[in-house]
Structure 1
Amino acid sequence: MPDPIYDVIAIGNAIVDVMAPCEDVEIAALGLAKGGMTLVDTARAKELYDAMGPAREISGGSAANTLAGLAALGAKCAFIGQVADDQLGEVFAHDIRAGGIAFDTAARAGDPPTARCLIFVTPDGQRTMNTFLGASQFLPAQALDENAIAAASVLYLEGYLWDPEEPRKAMRRAIAAARNAGRKVAFTLSDAFVISRHGDDFRALIADGQIDILFANEHELAALTGLDDFQAGLMQLAANVPTVVVTRSEHGAHAVSGGEHAHVPAQPIDKVVDTTGAGDLFAAGFLFGHVRGRPLEDCLTLGAICAAEVISHYGARPEADLNMLVAANVG
């Protein structure tokens, strides 16, 4: 097998996040599910945008956020995702390339426009996300660069993008390309609502041995396994997935790999400002440790460090020097 060109190549939603602080009463008045992620259509997206206070526009998308963290740590990364030929599409492409991430997917002409996620952040740091998928849900299989996929140590896929039919086919094709090249496939479950719609697909992928590294939080773990007992759910997945990583917010994170079970506490933080991207950056830290051959506990610690950094400020991309934080916390 030739040496990889990339550490991680990811396929995900190419989204621009539009973030604004708000009060709990506004969440209730708008009929939003606090702390969750809801898919919205064009009309609802406009209604919510009009209701937002002063906002910041920051390129986002779950897998793209993970790559931003990986690249900041020094990993070589590439991204596959669909934007439209419009202003937000140019913003997304500029931001991801400026982070040192290869991005060669051609922009899509015409409607729908580039995806955007309208995020309301309450004083407790909880983010309520309303996602208009726009052009991102029309990623065709022919847009895949299978040579690039075969040249990456890890193919990383986000569950959010499993929902639309066209990118779901593209992701299945990408899994085949990665496995044919002897590379690893990592998958993040993304949200319990995705599992409610596509859990059977995910369970089938796991049963068929298609997933090498699975990321979940404790709520997604319960939704996927049907087990309320955390340890029972973790061990059920570990019996079928080589590496399982599960986060538990302030209670830290667990991983099981090759019979080894590791746990680390959450990193201390003065104040939680915005939890957007916490899971994405945790995956970034863990995958960085993984591709560098670090011990399992170190991989978890790297994830916890990156997650703590991103929840200390608005936005789902790192702002502090992650390498300095890692050097100060990991031997």
Structure 2
Amino acid sequence: MRIVLTGSIAIDRIMVFPGRFDEVIQPDKLHVLSLSVLIDRLQDTRGGVAANIAYSLALLGERPTLYGSAGKDATSYIEDLESIGVDTKFVHFSELPTATFTVMTDQANCQIGGFYPGAMSDAELLSFTEFENDAFFVISPHDPRQMAKQVEVCASKNYRLFYDVGQQVTNIPASDVQAGIEAAELLIVNDYEMGVLVEKTGWSQEEIVSKVRLCVVTLGENGCLIYQAGHRPVAVPAISLKKVVDPTGAGDAFRAGFLYGYVRNLPATECAELGATAAAYAIEHHGTQMHHFTKEVFLKRHRASYPKE
């Protein structure tokens, strides 16, 4: 099944702080917060949620369709994605610079970041109307207004949808978030984002779960919980890591691995295992598209990490 990914295509500027934020931030001074820390690593890498998911899917042998907006400064970036198997013919090139995500990670893997949308502001030019109902659509974080329009198209045409609201949940009107959840069959969020969803929508977690076919809440090093209406939550552990280098992009890699199994109608637990395996590769490298694997090596690691009786 064709996977159509809409969302950000970006440059990630990743900084590593050798200390801990909770040691330099005074909780009683947050209202006058002014902070500067010394970092010991700075790296610019290719990123963006949709592009990150597409990258890992391509490593798994898929040919996902990337549907987003990038600046002309990203021409070689898009060409490289095409070279590994990503369908990039629907990428729009803007006169604006490519979106940029700047993030600082501390030694506890806590992060502070900021996002400049740049070319992503042209997302209003993108619509799902040219696609037939033979694909699985992923709406990942980008321009909130266009996300709402794309949800509307999916709902009106009964398209299969993974609503990946992610960190944009704080910037999207409650009514649009509710519409996205109600149009989706799949929802993946981390535990913090689930809390924000509950607060923003006014729905309980149980109500949110009841509105989708499948809901996955990721818990970082503690794996994830799989929710299906009428069933008890199922826990899937994370896998052992060779080393912890950088958590940036782990969630996007998880989504790629999960989607790989999901479009093949594999059990939800196995989809989550595949997601956790992909996330491990991302965590073991700096940058969101610096990990590499062949499908055969990936599946071998998956089988070794989750042996079946």
- Cα distance 1:71–1:237, how it changes in 2: closer, same or farther (>3 A)? same
Matched, 1:221 2:219: no
Deviation, 1:20, is 3.6
Deviation, 1:64, is 1.5
1:241-320 matched pairs, under 5 angstroms: 241-257=212-228, 259-260=230-231, 261-317=233-289, 318-320=291-293
Identity %: 21
Counterpart in the other structure of 2:139: 157
Deviation, 1:54, is 6.1
Aligned residues: 289
Counterpart in the other structure of 1:67: 54
- The answer to whether the 8 A contact 2:148-2:176 is kept is no
RMSD of aligned Cα (Å): 3.0
Match of 1:16 among 8, 11, 16: 11
Which string of whole-angstrom CA distances, capped at 9 and with x for unpartnered residues, describes residues 11-34 of structure 1? 1112111224333379998x9x9x
- The answer to whether the 8 A contact 1:9-1:152 is kept is no
Rounded Cα–Cα distance in structure 2 between residues aligned with 1:222 and 1:25: 24
Letter in 1 for 2:14: M
Deviation, 1:269, is 1.0
Where do 5+ consecutive residues of structure 2 fail to align?
A: 28-35
Matched, 1:200 2:174: yes
- Cα distance 1:182–1:195, how it changes in 2: closer, same or farther (>3 A)? closer
Letter in 2 for 1:71: A
TM-score by length of 2: 0.81
- The answer to whether the 8 A contact 1:13-1:137 is kept is no
- The answer to whether the 8 A contact 2:121-2:143 is kept is no
Rounded Cα–Cα distance in structure 2 between residues aligned with 1:250 and 1:279: 12
Deviation, 1:182, is 4.1
Deviation, 1:131, is 1.8
- Cα distance 1:122–1:273, how it changes in 2: closer, same or farther (>3 A)? same
Matched, 1:90 2:75: yes
TM-score by length of 1: 0.76
SS in 1 for 2:246: coil
Which string of whole-angstrom CA distances, capped at 9 and with x for unpartnered residues, describes residues 104-152 of structure 1? 333122xx422112233334444432221111122123x335333x255
Which string of whole-angstrom CA distances, capped at 9 and with x for unpartnered residues, describes residues 279-310 of structure 1? 11111111111001111110111111111111
